[in-house]
Amino acid sequence: MIIKPLACRRPALVCALALSVAGAAWAAADAPTSTVSPHTKGHADARQARPAQSKTAASVEVQGAWIRATVPGQSGTGGFMALRSTQGPLALVGFSTPVAGTAELHEMAMQGEVMRMRPVSGLDLPAGQVVELKPGGHHLMLMDLKKPLVAGTSVPLVLKLKTPEGRTVDQRVNVPVRTAAPQALATPAEAHDHDHAH
């Protein structure tokens, strides 16, 4: 498979770095599983999402959120999370963060033999369904970073959500910076669907 982010309107390097595990994630995405991924509700994710959830009016549940740490000289990176709209259908229509000059919603998809990425205007969040933003798929693109993003720190984001009536709702999420996906996201084989703590 050729990974070639031609459609990204930023230099290819930016997107390529953000998606450096795209190959692995894509292989998982090819598996004949449903689009709802219960494994995103693993223990580690629940722990990480808690600070974000406590601040919101429960418009969407955020699980397993992470932003990929940058290496020196890197000006852009990706953000990933699983979202579940709890009260009704919503759409994610964008996000903002003080650490990036430009923040876009991106998608990746195979076009023939080539994986391309491009900005999208929105992502539907059907009521009760888990929608994953992940390497190799939809992701948050943070560009023109104002400082390096170091693993172990966290980044405040505001997710822009839209109701079917066209009302916009902001949801704040504090997203940890990591060098790799949380374990529960990285190992779908151990997927299970529960929230309780052991």
Residue numbers at the binding site for Cu ion (CB under 5 A): 15, 106, 117, 141
Q: How far is the CB of 8 from Cu ion (least distance, A)?
A: 6
CB closer to Cu ion out of 15 and 81: 15
CA 109 vs. chain centroid, Å, equals 15
Quote the CA–CA distance of 190 and 95 in Å, as a whole number.
Answer: 31
CB closer to Cu ion out of 68 and 106: 106
Instruction: Give, rounded to a whole angstrom, the gap between the first and last alpha carbons of the chain.
Output: 40
CB closer to Cu ion out of 15 and 100: 15
Who's near 115: CB < 8 A, 6+ residues apart? 1, 2, 3, 4, 5, 22, 26, 108, 109, 136
Alpha-carbon distances of 55 from 60, 108, 170, rounded to whole Å: 11, 30, 11
Q: How far is the CB of 19 from Cu ion (least distance, A)?
A: 7
CB closer to Cu ion out of 15 and 173: 15
Residue 45 token pair? 């994710």
Q: How far is the CB of 22 from Cu ion (least distance, A)?
A: 10
- CB-nearest residue to Cu ion: 106
CB closer to Cu ion out of 84 and 106: 106
- Compute how many other C-beta atoms are within 10 angstroms of the C-beta atom of residue 88: 13
Q: How far is the CB of 163 from Cu ion (least distance, A)?
A: 26
Q: How far is the CB of 119 from Cu ion (least distance, A)?
A: 8
